[in-house]
Amino acid sequence: MKDKAIFNQVQKKIQELKVEFLDLKILDLKGKLHSLILPSKMLDTKLIEGGVGFDASSYGFAKPEKSDMVMIPDLETMIIDPFRERKTAVFLANIHMADNMRTRFAEDPRFVALKAEEALIKSKFGTSALFGPEFEFFIFKEVGFGVSSEGSYYFLKKDSEEKRNFYHAGSPDDEFIDFKNEAVCLLQNLGINIKYHHHEVAVNQHEIETKFHTLLKTADQAVIIKYVLFNLAKKHNLFVTFMPKPFFGKAGNGWHVHQYIKNKDKNAFLKKGNYANLSEIGLHYMSGLLFHSGSLCAFSNPSTNSYKRLIRGFEAPVSAIFATSNRNAAIRIPAYVNESETRIEYRPGDAASNPYLFLSAMLLSGIDGIFKNISPEKFNFGPFDTAISEAKGFKNKIKELPENLAEALDCLEKDNEYLKYNKVFDSDLIQQWIKIKKQEIAEVSQVPNPKEFELYFNF
């Protein structure tokens, strides 16, 4: 066994804590969490070396005729589930082929993330990439929705009819402070370091921000954070959603990702005296994200609902530009950070994404920008520290983000070579992603919606 010491430590901990069940969790291709529950006595060398068989086609990964694969728990991801009545140890699992060697499955999102981290080291631009996401979400007391042949509907009960900015609202306006405090305590007990939480701009909208971590760990934490919030909401008879745009005419949910590259102990993005103290590597990395922003949106904003958020007027990014304060920019360089924490914030993304694929694609686009010395001046990426409407001479030359998911998928079909560096993404994964997302578009487009009735019912 490769990691016998870790196996022995985990097995000892299982016994000491009197764990009764093992929960192996895998995120499917779209980003939905699945579980396989085993009695704790199943934790043996056979499980760690051979894994448990499952149907990968039901996870969106493979064709039914080639769907037999195995999952093997990553022992280093063990946590104790705070919501189960019987003590349960949770492990995030890796997907392997069913061959004798138990080869890693190339399209496993966790493997994609691992290969992306290795790609950075191979590039020699840095030794690690660090990410600090902001999780925006809504909390509701009452929710209803449904689609049938007789009709479709949705209903969201707002806590206030006041038409104002709720940013950093306190008690009693923020009714869910205790809920968020409980969530943060649970997350910290699970080893996730939280920076803060607060009320966001829209009514019922909230945010939790984490501290910086490496790519794979950040994506792993995203899975656990959503799992905790969904289960805690159910415990309190509440509803939590990360849906990008649940409310018409109000701010939507983003998954803004702060990031920078470290080269051993040094921040590779830092160059004192430059614009926003950003180094040449930082500028080229940022320009890579903006240059590939169209295809990147296929992973960062992978739902039809995502593009109802990416419109002007709601602090949502719509332009492939950067700035220090302009929140319509796809990339913001925070002005309030210490020099040692110089970083960029990629703002278009949302938590409807698969975090492993989104973060990996983002890192690869940045690496490509450094490789190709992509210049922000050449492509008119900025900086635009004033409103776009004031930059009249440049407005027609500014690259805009895709207006819908179909457009983003078209961009991905035309621009995907940068994703294949170090074989992080392969053609099969990219084509499967495009296929399932086009199916989603078709499914949504075929359902009549209430606005159509308002416009056309009495014609």
- The CB density around residue 381, as the number of other CB atoms within 10 Å, is 27
Task: Examine the residue annotation and report whether 110 is marked as an active-site residue of this protein.
Answer: no
Task: Examine the residue annotation and report whether 347 is marked as an active-site residue of this protein.
Answer: yes
Task: Examine the residue annotation and report whether 55 is marked as an active-site residue of this protein.
Answer: yes
How far apart are the C-alpha atoms of 420 and 340, rounded to whole Å?
32
Q: Compute CA distances 121 → 82, 106, 137, 292, 364, whole Å.
A: 36, 19, 34, 21, 12
Task: Report whether 342 contacts 270 (CB < 8 A).
Answer: yes
322: nearest Cα among 282, 360, 373: 282
Task: Examine the residue annotation and report whether 207 is marked as an active-site residue of this protein.
Answer: yes
Task: Examine the residue annotation and report whether 256 is marked as an active-site residue of this protein.
Answer: yes
H or E element at residue 441: helix 427-445
How far apart are the C-alpha atoms of 200 and 226, rounded to whole Å?
17
Task: Examine the residue annotation and report whether 134 is marked as an active-site residue of this protein.
Answer: yes
Task: Examine the residue annotation and report whether 102 is marked as an active-site residue of this protein.
Answer: no
Catalytic residue among 49, 55, 76, 403: 55
Catalytic residue among 76, 142, 327, 443: 327
- The CB density around residue 421, as the number of other CB atoms within 10 Å, is 19
310: nearest Cα among 240, 259, 253: 253
Q: Any idea how long the chain is? A: 459
- The CB density around residue 439, as the number of other CB atoms within 10 Å, is 10
**Which residues, in sequence order, are CB contacts of 89 under 8 Å at separation 6+?**
14, 17, 19, 21, 22, 23, 40, 78, 79, 80, 81
Catalytic residue among 23, 117, 134, 368: 134
281: nearest Cα among 345, 370, 383, 364: 370
The separation between CA 366 and the C-alpha centre of its own chain, rounded to angstroms, equals 17
**Which residues, in sequence order, are CB contacts of 408 under 8 Å at separation 6+?**
294, 295, 297, 298, 301, 302, 402
Map residue 129 onto helix, strand or coil: strand
Sign, CA torsion 174/179/185/187: negative
Catalytic residue among 108, 292, 347, 368: 347
Angle ∠(51,52,56) on CA atoms, nearest 5:
110
The owner of tokens 């409310």 is: 247
Task: Examine the residue annotation and report whether 162 is marked as an active-site residue of this protein.
Answer: no
Catalytic residue among 108, 174, 200, 368: 200
Task: Examine the residue annotation and report whether 327 is marked as an active-site residue of this protein.
Answer: yes
Task: Report whether 198 contacts 183 (CB < 8 A).
Answer: no
Catalytic residue among 23, 207, 220, 368: 207
How far apart are the C-alpha atoms of 389 and 319, rounded to whole Å?
12
Using DSSP, how many helices (H) and how many strands (E) does the chain show? Answer: 12, 18
Residue type, 310: L
Looking at residue 193, what DSSP letter applies? P
Catalytic residue among 23, 81, 107, 136: 136
255: nearest Cα among 132, 349, 320: 349
Catalytic residue among 213, 256, 284, 332: 256
Q: Which residues are catalytic, by number?
A: 55, 134, 136, 200, 207, 256, 327, 345, 347
